[in-house]
Structure 1
């Protein structure tokens, strides 16, 4: 689960503005926001950089929270 849309919307950034900053298609960003596709580390860093440049201060872990450790049976 990611929080791309949450941070984008909190900062009043429209999806099309973030798409333009990234140089991507709207479909690509929409798929990442909805969790239909998983961005790689390079894409995650690009999203964070674009959000920051557009006025949404955030970090990688805030937008892409780490998965909690789940204890496994021995």
Structure 2
């Protein structure tokens, strides 16, 4: 799960502006936002940096919330 679209919309950033800032295709960003594709750590960092450069104020954990692992208690 990611919150790319949420933070992009909250900051008033158009998807095409994020695409231009990253130098990626619109389809790639769209697939990440829709959860059809999973971004690796380097891509996640690039997305957050681009969002912040374009005026958003967000962290890696806010855009890509950590997945809590189930407790391993016996």
Q: TM-score, normalised by structure 1?
A: 0.94
Q: TM-score, normalised by structure 2?
A: 0.94
Give 1:21 shift.
0.2
Question: Which residue of structure 1 aligns with residue 17 of structure 2?
Answer: 17
Unaligned runs of 5+ in 2: none
Question: Which residue of structure 2 aligns with residue 47 of structure 1?
Answer: 47
Q: Across the two proteins, how many residue pairs are aligned to each other?
A: 74
Instruction: Kindly provide the CA deviation profile for residues 10-45 of structure 1, in whole angstroms up to 9, marking residues without a partner as x.
Output: 000000000000000000000000000000011000
Give 1:70 shift.
1.1
Give 1:71 shift.
2.3
Give 1:69 shift.
2.4
Structure 1 segments, 4+ long, off by >2 Å, are 71-74
Unaligned runs of 5+ in 1: none
Question: Which residue of structure 2 aligns with residue 34 of structure 1?
Answer: 34
RMSD: 1.1
